[in-house]
Amino acid sequence: MTGHPQQFVIYKDKAGEFRWQLYAQNSKLIADSGEGYKNRSDCIHGARLVSSIAAGALMWDRSTQQWVE
């Protein structure tokens, strides 16, 4: 992973299903698929979907019950 900040990593879990992980620029894990995919293409689609909507996502604070600006 060296030299590739902010990347998705696709891998197979112990059950033989595909999963993705998202790493920050400092190489720390910041998100994962949360579920396994039978098909590699479905896993890639899930990662791309997260990537495409994350930048425009709104943020809700449950503790204050308000949107974060």
What is the C-alpha separation between 34 and 46, in angstroms, rounded?
A: 11
pLDDT tens, residue by residue, 20-30: 999 998 889 99
What is the C-alpha separation between 51 and 33, in angstroms, rounded?
A: 12
Q: What is the structure's pLDDT at 25?
A: 87
* pTM of the predicted model as reported, rounded to 2 decimal places: 0.80
Tokens (6 digits) for 31: 């998100």
Q: What is the structure's pLDDT at 54?
A: 84
Tokens (6 digits) for 28: 């720390």
pLDDT tens, residue by residue, 4-56: 668 999 999 999 999 999 999 888 999 999 999 999 999 999 999 999 998 88
Name the residue among 12, 1, 5 with its Cα closest to residue 20: 12
Type of residue numbered 24: A
